[in-house]
Structure 1
């Protein structure tokens, strides 16, 4: 009997490990890439037939209540055209890889190498030295050609980092000659951008920088991606909030069990197929639970308010997973609601020092300063205490100082002097 129990335990554990092995890549993929993520599990399985969930128009599958109440949203734009593919970034770049910018064979070869080695944000990350050695040219010659990407559309593409991308875009901007030197200085020292706020042309510099694309490929990231939400959150006729899985887009798995008894090979493939079905069900259950928790913590947002502080650790603790697992789970996932279509990660907006949403904190900080005593303005430490008490989050004083600078709020001693002047 002991042997039998041990065998059952091993079999159960084996079944669970198979499901989990299938589940992670299926969970981490976006809904539009789900079929591709499943391919390795089904390509060698003759008993599985998969039918894609992308055979109907998107609008037919989303509750009309969401479409009717949806407002224009700059992060998503036209709901009706979410699955329409536009020209890709590489299509646009390929048209420019010739004269007049790259008229010679070597310049065109360098340009093609740069394009082939752009990361997802449009930054160049190739092995320049290896390329130069192979082509018999110097690194200086290579860089001279690469820098011509400052004149390629979209401007900023092909830069090695944000600073260089902004310099590319600066040369194509409408900035005045008077403000240009300050803009160059600010771009090279963006960590301390607000230390230049007293400079004469700072306002113009900030206006111009605010028009720059960051990252440089952002327009094509949004346009080329098939944005299909995993969850739909809306209010029903009785104004009760509903969380619904967009399972109409999930692939349908059919398993042929006709010859299972006669062939051990087929029996094994059927077990693997059932494990895949279990993994798909686990994906649905996990994301549905994420949706319920987002509604619980962000209910104010769905009723017209702001996104509130919410840490990935909060979700991870609920699920019993590592925060990094949750981070990958919500990547490339979207929620449709009557305020538009938002990436799940937006409900976990992070600051530099804390994994919390800072929009509401900044608004609260502004409110505290507006209502403070002019005789005794609130210090950063006092502001920190009040914010931590209000939002139940752990922060550090330097973050409050950083938020103040971003909001153009002076320190407590400077504010006291300003109050005395009025």
Structure 2
């Protein structure tokens, strides 16, 4: 009897393992790429047939409360974008996280961490020291692996700032050997770019710099408007907020049980097919729970207020997963509501204090820079004073500089030169 219980336990663990193995790539993919993510699991399975979820009219699947609601965000029009999204930045990078650039388990682990901690522009903003402490590796080893991203497409991603991104891109450019040293010097001293104008090869340097992507993930930002939301959040007829999965867009998995199940091969394929169904259900359950948590923590936003502080760690603790796994899970996932269509990651911010999120700070920073006097751009200290006065918080100047870099906003001197050029 003990042996029977042991066999059942092993079988259950094996089933769970198969489901989890299927679940991760299915969870990480966007809704529009779900069919492609599932294809490796179904191509070699004769008992599975998949019916696409894209055959009906999308607008009919959106609750009328979302379409007819008074919307204060221009991105509402994105609800009706029906074009299937191209491969995401994560998809493109994942394909390259292997030999020869990342041949060892530790190099692949570092590379995966770097990818999981890219901001919307493609810049790396992860806590390298914390990762190295957990993995018991030296920071120099981490950096050695991160710098290999200079050979990864799209070139420039995983750099820490604009200058480093340009250096990454320089290595793959067609610049001549004679102009290369000057280009490196110009990149590292962009604020004084005009001081090099009389140097030999300056025109070639400017031509090459003009071909660089800024920010490095810009082509994926442009595609992100053409999306299909995973969740819809709206107020029902009883004025209660409701979270609804966009499950009508999920592919339907049909299992053909007409085969002779006593055949070992067929029996195994049916088990694999059932694991795939379980994995798809796990994706739905996970994203639905994410939606419920977002409503719980960001209720004020859905009633017209601002996004409140909410970290990935809070969500990770609820799920019992690593924050980097949650970061990948919400990547390329979107929510439609009566204020528009929003990336899930927009609902997760770091708190400046109990009531102010860094998302609000960054939004204000962008606004005041857009309105600044082009002849006298605001210094970081002036920006700091304005932010502290607006939000009644205490910050330091280097935090403003950090936010500028994340938002791809140049320093005041460089902005003045850029305004002059335009």
Task: Tell whether the structures are fold-level matches, with TM greater than 0.5.
Answer: yes
Once residues 398 and 157 of structure 2 are traced to their aligned partners in structure 1, the CA distance between those partners, rounded to angstroms, is 33
CA contact (8 A) 1:76 1:222 kept: no
* Aligned counterpart, 2:326: 326
* Aligned counterpart, 2:342: 342
* Aligned counterpart, 1:111: none
* Aligned counterpart, 2:252: 252
* Aligned counterpart, 2:26: 26
Q: Can you give the 5+ residue segments of structure 2 that lack an aligned partner in the other structure?
A: 87-150, 196-212, 365-384, 405-422
CA contact (8 A) 2:253 2:277 kept: yes
Select the structure with the greater relative contact order (CA < 8 A; seq sep ≥ 6).
2
* Aligned counterpart, 2:272: 272
Once residues 402 and 157 of structure 2 are traced to their aligned partners in structure 1, the CA distance between those partners, rounded to angstroms, is 31
Once residues 302 and 15 of structure 1 are traced to their aligned partners in structure 2, the CA distance between those partners, rounded to angstroms, is 39
* Aligned counterpart, 1:173: none
* Aligned counterpart, 2:177: 139
The CA deviation string for residues 241-272 of structure 1, in whole angstroms up to 9 with x for no partner, is 00000001100000001124331100100000
Once residues 315 and 41 of structure 1 are traced to their aligned partners in structure 2, the CA distance between those partners, rounded to angstroms, is 29
Once residues 320 and 21 of structure 1 are traced to their aligned partners in structure 2, the CA distance between those partners, rounded to angstroms, is 17
CA contact (8 A) 2:66 2:337 kept: yes
* Aligned counterpart, 1:63: 63
Which one has a bigger Cα radius of gyration?
Answer: 1
| 2:225 pairs with 1:234 | no
Once residues 25 and 184 of structure 1 are traced to their aligned partners in structure 2, the CA distance between those partners, rounded to angstroms, is 48
CA contact (8 A) 2:85 2:227 kept: no
TM-score for the superposition, normalised by structure 2: 0.58
- Distance change (3 Å), C-alpha of 1:233 and 1:21: same
The CA deviation string for residues 335-379 of structure 1, in whole angstroms up to 9 with x for no partner, is 00000000000001347999x932457999xxxxxxxxxxxxxxx
Once residues 271 and 316 of structure 1 are traced to their aligned partners in structure 2, the CA distance between those partners, rounded to angstroms, is 30
Task: Quote the offset at 1:4 in angstroms.
Answer: 1.0
The CA deviation string for residues 49-104 of structure 1, in whole angstroms up to 9 with x for no partner, is 00111122322211121011163635564432342679xxxxxxxxxxxxxxxxxx
Q: Secondary structure at the match of 2:59?
A: helix
- Distance change (3 Å), C-alpha of 1:221 and 1:57: farther
CA contact (8 A) 1:362 1:403 kept: no
Once residues 323 and 275 of structure 1 are traced to their aligned partners in structure 2, the CA distance between those partners, rounded to angstroms, is 25
* Aligned counterpart, 2:125: none
CA contact (8 A) 2:362 2:403 kept: no
Q: Secondary structure at the match of 1:139?
A: coil
Task: Quote the offset at 1:25 in angstroms.
Answer: 0.8
* Aligned counterpart, 2:309: 309
Task: Quote the offset at 1:327 in angstroms.
Answer: 0.8
Q: Secondary structure at the match of 1:65?
A: helix
Once residues 316 and 295 of structure 1 are traced to their aligned partners in structure 2, the CA distance between those partners, rounded to angstroms, is 16
| 2:291 pairs with 1:291 | yes
- Distance change (3 Å), C-alpha of 1:387 and 1:35: farther
* Aligned counterpart, 2:377: none
TM-score for the superposition, normalised by structure 1: 0.58
Q: Can you give the 5+ residue segments of structure 1 that lack an aligned partner in the other structure?
A: 87-113, 148-159, 168-180, 186-212, 365-379, 389-396, 408-422
Within a 5 Å distance, the mapping from 1:94-133 to structure 2 comes to 118=155, 125=168, 128=171
User: How many residues are aligned here?
Assistant: 292
Task: Quote the offset at 1:217 in angstroms.
Answer: 5.7
* Aligned counterpart, 1:81: 81
